Chain A
Amino acid sequence: MSTESATLTGVGAATAKAGRRGGHAKRNLTVKAGSSVILLIIAVVFCIPLLWVILASINPNASLSVEWPGSPSTDNYRAVLNTDTTYRPIWNSVILCGGGTILTMICSALAAYPLSRYQSRAKRPFLLTIIFATGLPITAIMVPVYAMFVRVNLIDSMIGAIFFLAASSLPYAIFLMKNFMDGVPKELEESAWTEGAGTLRALWSIVLPLMRPGTAVVMMLTFAKMWGDFFVPFMLLLSPDKLPASVSLFTFSSQYGQVAYGQLAAFSILYSLPVVLLYLVLGRRLRDGFVAAGGLKG
């Protein structure tokens, strides 16, 4: 009897719950539709500035406003695709950001290894300094960097700019690399050690291949940040033939006197393309980077 009533109550409760859950399902559907509509509105608002650059780039009579091109053409692209306007600045960007990224990756991978593998009293203070340095506003030191570079004759030198770009992205790169490296189990190298492999060998042939997705995220973030950077090359490079795309885009309007908006848009697209493609290729892994970037462990 008592069991029966218990069962009955149980069933009753279950039914009531099921009923309520049905209500929830309906409500959840409304929530889903509502959220989707709000998101779509935000997406459209976010899109409008982006729409301008795409439409203006194929519009020979582009103005400041988003408008459907009367007679779409590739004239703007053809006008900017020459050595002075596009090829040389893009090539300079490639050297600058490629060099900076390679330097950053080598230094950060090497530095992350002892930080991830060994215990030492100096480790914690070093890591704290690195994390602290990730927060420093780089903009603030550009004036003293300029003054210092004038002193040591590094102004207008690609090498100088590459080293500074690498230094400014190193703290974050070391921090991320160390976190990714912590995820590679140590036991795998221990056998290599017993076989006499040195640190470099273990790092290159065991650890780095195992953390390739992490390395890709660090590389992409480093490269994209340098590619878009304006202030550093703007301050440190002077000769027109050394300027990367970010600075040459800024001087674009003055070069032509009258601003050719269509050409400005076309060049903007050509210049943005590499990082957008990089993001499309590696985008999904970016999320891992955000989970690993720290502070997200709830």
Chain B
Amino acid sequence: MATLTETAARRDSAEPPDRRPHRRTAARGIPLLPAVLVLGAFLAGPVLYSIYLAFTNRALRGEGASETSFVGLDNFRTAFDTSEFWNAVGLTLVFTVVSGIIGQNVLGMALALLLRRSATWVGVLTGTIVVGAWIVPEVVAGYLWYTFLSDGGSLNGILGFLHLPNQDWLIASPIIAVSFANIWRGTAFAMLTYSAALSQVSPELDESAQIDGAGPVRRFWSITLPLLRRSIMTCLMLTTLQTLSVFGLIYVMTGGGPGIQSQTLPLYMYEQAFSYGQLGYGTAVALMLLLVGGLAALAYLRVLPKEDKE
């Protein structure tokens, strides 16, 4: 009896978080089941299905509609030989770098830094407006920017007032137009992330550097940036991933046009699958997009602090 209690006590001290007997370990996993089932059927399922579908000629009509057959790497070969595909890759790169990586992060960081130094009411007002742009639904944001940049829109009104040249921005530089809309929409995320990170940096470090005579630029580069390195990496990864999958905003503003001048990969994928009915080919493009996203997500996993993964 005494030995039993002793063993039990020893086991307790060996694994303090685990008070319950071992045979219940499997039962403890039961609450995970609903989530695992939903994720398995509706998320892992489509991902696996896309790996199969990308190697077939499945189509909505014509050849491949009645009978589906394996075509090996044909879909990928077609993609690599098509200039429209490379056009979409290039535009996706421009869109992601201009709006996601540079635009949202630089503006978000600038806002986070300015918010700390400005008058309180200005900070609250600006923060609310920027977050307001983020909270507005995607299609509404698309229409707002469509009207803002159109021929008879507000931007041209302002430019006309300043006696500057007018043009239809959605036709003249569509990819830049949608990039600006995406910066407007996504900056709040970077701003909130960087504000939260900055609030955890001790102000004493900055003050002592200031007393030592370091200027604001120097202090930002040598103190703030290194301390925020990890937050910056995670925020960069997340904005990249979000920007990679933007569809509605571009679809509403330009539909990928004029021609294919703002057709990023998601829009190219959609057009191939539904306008041309090539589900197999569209899926092959989707799979490549998924792979790029998967790589970015892996990079994100690597920079995430260890305690979050445990």
Contact = CB atoms under 8 A, between A and B. Distances in A.
Interface of A: 17, 20, 24, 31-33, 35-36, 38-40, 42-43, 46-53, 56, 63-66, 103, 106-108, 110-111, 113-115, 117-120, 122-124, 126-128, 131-148, 163-164, 166-168, 170-171, 174, 179, 186, 190, 193, 199-200, 203, 224, 227-231, 234, 246, 249-250, 261, 264, 268, 271-272, 275-276, 279, 283, 286-287, 290-291, 293-298
B256 interface: no
Q: State the main secondary structure of chain A at its contact with B.
A: helix
Contacts of A32: 117-119
A166 B231 contact: no
Contacts of B245: 137-140
Interface in B245-297: 245-248, 251-252, 266, 269-270, 273, 279, 282-283, 286-287, 289-290, 293-294, 296-297
A113 to B, nearest CB: 5
A261 B147 contact: yes
A143 B269 contact: yes
A246 B139 contact: yes
Interface residues of B, number: 114
Interface of B: 15, 17-20, 25, 28-32, 34-36, 38-39, 41-43, 45-47, 49-50, 53, 58, 107, 111, 114-115, 117-119, 122-123, 125-126, 129-133, 135-141, 143-145, 147-148, 150-154, 156-158, 184, 192-193, 195-197, 200-201, 210-211, 227-228, 230-231, 233-235, 237-238, 241, 244-248, 251-252, 266, 269-270, 273, 279, 282-283, 286-287, 289-290, 293-294, 296-298, 300-301, 303-305, 307-310
A296 B293 CA distance: 22
A271 B140 contact: yes
Given A108-B35, A268-B143, A137 B244 contact: yes
A164 B125 CA distance: 37
A64 B126 contact: no
Contacts of B235: 295
Contacts of A111: 31-32, 34-36
B192 A50 contact: no
B122 A230 contact: no
Contact of A137 (B20, B241, B273, B279): B241
A142 to B, nearest CB: 8
A46 B41 CA distance: 41
A271 B137 CA distance: 8
A140 B266 contact: yes
Contacts of B156: 65
